[in-house]
Chains A and B, each alone.
Chain A
């Protein structure tokens, strides 16, 4: 029937177009069923739906199993990740598995955006004025002891309020051929190839976990994999050791005459890949491009937020740059690691389109050819100034040629490493570690990750902190994490990471205590088992 209708329409242009238009309009007008905020009601069984993406399904099923053991009616639903996040932001979910990354090794971009009232990442709708005040104090004071104390107090409150079912962080697991020397994964996922040596070879291939990087312009992305590639082509004023310490790179030294002023002294004799010298002018240009709302051919750089409260950048002379902040920022230097210096003359001459066709930086490798989604080929820059003196060796890179290959399928990365086609691979799944450790000629290395995984709770729906605490007591996380992540997942007590500033080591994660969980639920008026 429907077939006949469509067939009769097929000859006619206008009717077909009208049909399509009608369908489109109907779809646009229909907004989809919104979530009805249901208050959890006392005197009955607690019902909770755990939502998550495919990669967390096993974990959520296990958590739901533990919850059912104490009489909670727990269900699991699986979503495409971005759909889930959008729904959580609208407040239509009870509890959902999420993860959130930090790049400053500070609660500044982790606990604060996730748990401060009304912040961008806070879609558990948690709100506690005391926590807000402590966060405000900790993130603006220049007194480290005050900040530390404020963060510690905030963690105690968070622990009691239990806005989430607190989770864990995962190790960054990477593997390489045994011929690869002087390499280890960084806490910030960077693969610094400048220092790497390949025994018996000078062309090294990295198997990336991404299916594409976002740009060849270091000011035009918000993506770690992109940064991993670009930081081999471009250098910043400062960089970071694999353990997360900020050390000088293009800047030789700096001073901070007052809390909102930084003076950077640039290293002399640094050249870009096109032979032009790097001066204060290039540094000012780099930062002004990002600060300006129209810095990228009329668009705003997505990296503005990574400059923190930076307000003004000036060249005092050819090798001195002054930066003025609008407010003191304890994490400013950590943020600065993420801005790479671009050549003013070259970029202005070839334009943005020309620049992303053939990027030119001052980093250890120069661009040869490549596409965002394919092999990106770089070659050693022989006139390299040497890089950070804190990250030996200093001088031109030992490798002659490096290639970044986009390999989104983990099985393909592992096979290619075993076949000897690639030499370093990113993101090894925890279940593959044992196989790789047994394989000949392969090394597996681990660094603590900077993403926090949790099951967030909609605090507008589950308003009683006793219920949220009960959910934390009810789950045997040690067993779940051991079985699923083979020792590569580590619990945290709240929403702070041990690799970051302000972590309270004395605070222990919620223990597995189903009796306590039952007690709390009963107190809150629910039937338990």
Chain B
């Protein structure tokens, strides 16, 4: 890669992402149709009063009676025009459904990320600085538990402790239903601010705490271990020893000289996990009655609502690709030597 400038590299990666995303969506398209089960049959349910003629009409109106390649061409054409089609189940545009669910998911993911970073960086650094101390052992032991704990279980335990037993925090939904504010952006924190309603903002913030902690717990655990080990490496490095020899105080050595370099592996982990935060939060959304994208997608898979699943997979694919790209770019910001290649 020598001789290639950073921006050219980014451009190349961007271009490569297009066929990749298209390929992923096409494979999804095919896989979905291989799943046994017909969307119209499922929509009409396991119940009586449905005639075959009724089902045939609906299938025809939805274009499901056409050959699969025709459906694929139709879908691909729509995608090129930026039209993701309509949900079979709810007849609403897929883009609108995703647009509605996405802010809730992003808000939760951002809060979880914030929580994870806020916990992991200080804990990781302290564990490295106080290597093999009781604090280190306690922190890494907790992290180990955090990695092993299923989100489903953690969520319910947090609900039982902080919601039911102590009554400190709400356990479901995004805001107290008696305080609803107009939905402008879909981000509850932003909407409550726009409505200039401090009580509603507070309520939205409280509703965010338990789901964000549950979603962020695993990431915090992973991240603190990564920060700790890379910090340990860096603290042995020559330039840190030089800094210490120059008489720079220890706090400054850690925060200015070591941390910046120690963060590179952490950013890699973060980049990979951001995708998981967005895609893998279905369980947290279910446990906390949080109306987000994960639940939309899983429901759509069960209902064989093909267009919704396809649209969401496209979004996930783009998110992962973007996160990877962002990590590359961030490397060069944190450590300019990386830009050389």
Given A211-B286, A335-B49, A421-B172, A82 contacting B42 (CB threshold 8 A) = yes
CB distance from A95 to the nearest CB of B (A): 17
A77 contacts partner chain B, Cβ-Cβ < 8 Å:
no
Residue of A nearest to B156 (CB): A411
A83 contacts partner chain B, Cβ-Cβ < 8 Å:
yes
Which residue of A98, A120, A403, A405 is within 8 Å of B50 (Cβ)?
Answer: A120
CB distance from B85 to the nearest CB of A (A): 14
Q: A405–B286 Cα gap in the complex (Å)?
A: 12
| Listed residue (A14, A99, A205) with the most chain B CB atoms within 10 angstroms of its CB | A205
Mask for B138-181, Cβ within 8 A of A = 1, else 0?
A: 00000000000000000010011001100100111111011010
Task: Kindly list chain B residues whose C-beta atoms are within 8 Å of the C-beta of A496.
Answer: none
Task: Kindly list chain B residues whose C-beta atoms are within 8 Å of the C-beta of A17.
Answer: 19, 22-23
| Listed residue (A23, A108, A207, A212) with the most chain B CB atoms within 10 angstroms of its CB | A212
B115 contacts partner chain A, Cβ-Cβ < 8 Å:
no
Mask for A83-105, Cβ within 8 A of B = 1, else 0?
A: 10111001000000011111110
Number of contacting residues on A, CB 8 A?
A: 84
Given A24-B29, A98-B46, A223-B45, A302 contacting B90 (CB threshold 8 A) = no
Q: A368–B180 Cα gap in the complex (Å)?
A: 10
Which residue of B31, B35, B36, B47 is within 8 Å of A103 (Cβ)?
Answer: B47
B228 contacts partner chain A, Cβ-Cβ < 8 Å:
no
**A419 with B49: CB separation less than 8 A:** no
In terms of DSSP, what is the predominant structure of the interface of chain A? mixed
CB distance from B89 to the nearest CB of A (A): 6
Segment touching A, from B3-11, B234-242, B253-261, B296-304? B296-304
Given A419-B163, A421-B172, A101 contacting B180 (CB threshold 8 A) = no
**A16 with B34: CB separation less than 8 A:** no
Which residue of A222, A304, A409 is within 8 Å of B43 (Cβ)?
Answer: A222
Residue of A nearest to B181 (CB): A369
Given A214-B90, A369-B183, A415-B163, A104 contacting B299 (CB threshold 8 A) = no
Which residue of B48, B182, B299 is within 8 Å of A121 (Cβ)?
Answer: B48
CB distance from B175 to the nearest CB of A (A): 8
**B27 with A24: CB separation less than 8 A:** yes
B83 contacts partner chain A, Cβ-Cβ < 8 Å:
no
Task: Kindly list chain B residues whose C-beta atoms are within 8 Å of the C-beta of A220.
Answer: 91
A38 contacts partner chain B, Cβ-Cβ < 8 Å:
no
**B178 with A215: CB separation less than 8 A:** no
CB distance from A350 to the nearest CB of B (A): 16
Given A20-B23, A27-B27, A203 contacting B177 (CB threshold 8 A) = yes
Given A20-B24, A82-B36, A415-B160, A102 contacting B47 (CB threshold 8 A) = yes
B288 contacts partner chain A, Cβ-Cβ < 8 Å:
yes
| Listed residue (B19, B42, B156) with the most chain A CB atoms within 10 angstroms of its CB | B19
B133 contacts partner chain A, Cβ-Cβ < 8 Å:
no
Residue of A nearest to B96 (CB): A353
Task: Kindly list chain B residues whose C-beta atoms are within 8 Å of the C-beta of A170.
Answer: none
**A298 with B61: CB separation less than 8 A:** yes
**A373 with B68: CB separation less than 8 A:** no
CB distance from B211 to the nearest CB of A (A): 11
A260 contacts partner chain B, Cβ-Cβ < 8 Å:
no
Q: A214–B39 Cα gap in the complex (Å)?
A: 14
Which residue of B20, B296, B304 is within 8 Å of A16 (Cβ)?
Answer: B20
Q: A388–B317 Cα gap in the complex (Å)?
A: 53
Task: Kindly list chain B residues whose C-beta atoms are within 8 Å of the C-beta of A411.
Answer: 156, 159, 287
CB distance from A53 to the nearest CB of B (A): 11
Residue of A nearest to B37 (CB): A82
Q: A412–B163 Cα gap in the complex (Å)?
A: 10
CB distance from B4 to the nearest CB of A (A): 13
CB distance from A378 to the nearest CB of B (A): 10
Given A16-B23, A299-B91, A86 contacting B182 (CB threshold 8 A) = no
**A87 with B36: CB separation less than 8 A:** yes
Given A13-B15, A411-B287, A412-B159, A422 contacting B172 (CB threshold 8 A) = yes
Mask for B275-313, Cβ within 8 A of A = 1, else 0?
A: 000000000001111010001101100101000000000
Segment touching B, from A109-117, A468-476, A479-487? A109-117
Q: A436–B296 Cα gap in the complex (Å)?
A: 30
CB under 8 Å from chain B, chain A span 171-223 = 203, 205, 207, 211-212, 214-215, 220, 222-223
**B44 with A421: CB separation less than 8 A:** no
Q: A492–B27 Cα gap in the complex (Å)?
A: 46
Mask for A125-164, Cβ within 8 A of B = 1, else 0?
A: 0000000000000000000000000000000000000000
**A113 with B48: CB separation less than 8 A:** yes
Q: A110–B50 Cα gap in the complex (Å)?
A: 11
**B30 with A24: CB separation less than 8 A:** yes
B101 contacts partner chain A, Cβ-Cβ < 8 Å:
yes
Q: A102–B49 Cα gap in the complex (Å)?
A: 9
Segment touching A, from B51-59, B123-131, B192-200, B325-333? B51-59
Task: Kindly list chain A residues whose C-beta atoms are within 8 Å of the C-beta of B175.
Answer: 375
**A407 with B172: CB separation less than 8 A:** yes
Given A82-B304, A104-B48, A411-B156, A13 contacting B18 (CB threshold 8 A) = yes
Which residue of B19, B37, B89, B171 is within 8 Å of A415 (Cβ)?
Answer: B171
Task: Kindly list chain B residues whose C-beta atoms are within 8 Å of the C-beta of A374.
Answer: 104, 173-174, 291
**B44 with A302: CB separation less than 8 A:** yes
**B299 with A306: CB separation less than 8 A:** no
Which residue of A14, A28, A32, A85 is within 8 Å of B37 (Cβ)?
Answer: A85
Q: A106–B34 Cα gap in the complex (Å)?
A: 36
**B46 with A101: CB separation less than 8 A:** yes
CB distance from B69 to the nearest CB of A (A): 7
**A372 with B90: CB separation less than 8 A:** yes
Task: Kindly list chain A residues whose C-beta atoms are within 8 Å of the C-beta of B47.
Answer: 100-103, 109, 222
B26 contacts partner chain A, Cβ-Cβ < 8 Å:
yes
CB distance from B87 to the nearest CB of A (A): 10
Q: A211–B298 Cα gap in the complex (Å)?
A: 10
Task: Kindly list chain B residues whose C-beta atoms are within 8 Å of the C-beta of A372.
Answer: 90
Interface of B toward A, CB cutoff 8 Å: 15-16, 18-20, 22-24, 26-27, 29-31, 33-38, 41-52, 54-55, 57-58, 61, 68-69, 72, 89-92, 100-101, 104, 156, 159-160, 163-164, 167, 170-175, 177-178, 180, 182-183, 286-289, 291, 295-296, 298-299, 302, 304
List 11 A–B pairs whose Cβ atoms lie within 8 Å, in order of A's numbering: A13-B16, A20-B26, A23-B27, A82-B36, A82-B304, A85-B46, A293-B57, A302-B54, A373-B101, A405-B173, A406-B291
Beyond A16-B16, A220-B91, 17 additional pairs, beta carbon < 8 A: A10-B16, A21-B26, A27-B27, A27-B30, A83-B36, A98-B46, A103-B47, A121-B48, A299-B58, A302-B44, A372-B90, A405-B173, A406-B289, A408-B289, A415-B172, A416-B172, A419-B159
